[in-house]
Amino acid sequence: MAEYATRQRRVLLDFLGRHPDRGFSVEELYEALASCCPPDQVPGKSTLYRLIPKLVSEGLVKRFSGEQGRQFRYQIIPCKSREAHLHLKCISCGSLLHLDHAASAQIMDEVLEQTAFSLDQRETVLFGVCQNCRQKKQ
């Protein structure tokens, strides 16, 4: 059973890794995997619902509220560093970028100094528009 779960985890992470600029609901993940993987390799919906929270808690996947907060969307974290840092999400194209540790620490220190509020860098994502999308609009 452990090998089966490991294979399903690998299938899910491989798929998310091929789509790093897109967030998926669990339903969308299931449909996408069913359309691109051999039937014997597609994790079931219940397996996806069990795997996703584990990947989020391990810091491999980020969870975001969907449009109007209806359903959560999940997106792989496109960075190799496991050192704590903040993430930036483009509201135009959906790309997820990471700030290096030093820049993240500077922002968090500034927030703490000015507001006495301590940010949780595992949960904090700053939303805005990336350089590529800004240039396309010009």
What is the CATH classification number for the domain harbouring 135? Answer: 3.30.1490.190
Confidence of residue 1 (pLDDT cuts 50, 70, 90): very low
Is the pLDDT score of 90 beyond 80? yes
Same domain, 72 and 84: no
- For the cut 80, the answer to whether the pLDDT of residue 31 exceeds it is yes
19 with 63, same domain: the answer is yes
pTM of the model: 0.70
What percentage of the chain carries pLDDT values higher than 70? 88
51 and 8 assigned to the same domain: yes
CATH code of the domain containing 70: 1.10.10.10
Is the domain of 10 the same as that of 65? yes
Q: Which domain, by its residues, includes 26?
A: 1-77
Average pLDDT over residues 126-130: 90
- Helices 2-18, 26-36: inter-axial angle, 10-degree rounding: 90
Q: Which of 62, 77, 92 finishes a domain?
A: 77
Structure tokens at 93: 């194209």
CA distance 90 to 9: 27
Is the domain of 115 the same as that of 61? no
Q: Please identify, among 24, 54, 77, the residue that sits at the C-terminal boundary of a domain.
A: 77
Out of 28, 45, 77, pick the residue that ends a domain.
77
**Residues 12, 73: one domain?**
yes
Q: Is 133 found in the same domain as 106? A: yes
Q: Are residues 60 and 87 in the same domain?
A: no
Q: How many C-alpha atoms does 126 have within 13 Å on its Cβ side?
A: 16
- pLDDT tens digits, residue range 34-85? 999 888 889 999 999 999 999 988 888 888 876 656 788 898 887 665 567 7
Residue 123 Cα distances to 5, 44, 84, 136, angstroms: 26, 27, 11, 29
Let me know whether 66 and 85 are in one domain.
Answer: no
Confidence at residue 110, expressed as pLDDT on a 0 to 100 scale: 94
Q: How many domains does the chain have?
A: 2
Query: Is the same domain home to 43 and 105?
Result: no
